[in-house]
Amino acid sequence: MKPYVIICIALLAALLLLSACGTAATPQEATNADADMTNAADVTDADPWAAITEDGVDEEAFFAALDQTVLTEVAQKLQTAVDEEAAAEEANPELFLTEGWIRIFDSPQYRDVLALGKEAMPALYWIVYKSDRNGLYEFVCANALYELSGYDFTIADGVRQWDNAKALLPLFNQKILEERL
């Protein structure tokens, strides 16, 4: 292999690692983002989607309706999938070029989150909503939310209307509001 190809592969792998390491919120950040709201967690059988209004998200009501066990499970599984992806590409930089990071969507952790079904959706939403980042971890969470929702946020040619995690939320919120009518 030519030296410049090896250098390019190494640079791409380093960039991916830096972006994955610097953009992933930890499971602890996701579950402790609003420690002051823990008293509201005693509410059961509440609908977190009712907390989404035309004026935005009522964070206290959403958090109160959020299943903390599912939140922790989802956050840990997807963080592990992202961490394993970064480690695999660090060990073998050619993976970035041959398979890409999208193999996360075939990981056992991602499949486990999808297997939770609609129960995982509020946790996925909360992780993306509360994160101050918009990196790979958040994108993986947003993609799982998108898959589970069954919503179609594509334009006529099949291209998604959202290209990052934060861009999904307004589309998702609008769909939730439309379903209430």
pLDDT of residue 100: 86
- For residue 2, what pLDDT band results from cuts at 50, 70 and 90? very low
State pLDDT tens for residues 147-161.
Answer: 999 999 999 899 999
Q: What is the DSSP string of the chain?
A: --HHHHHHHHHHHHHHHHHHHHHPPPHHHHHHTTGGGGGGGG--S--GGGGEETTEE-HHHHHHHS-HHHHHHHHHHHHHHHHHHHHHHHH-THHHHHT-GGGGGGSHHHHHHHHTGGGGHHHHHHHHHH-S--SHHHHHHHHHHHHHH----B-TTS-BS-SSHHHHHHHHHHHHHHHH-
pLDDT over 50 (residue 86): yes
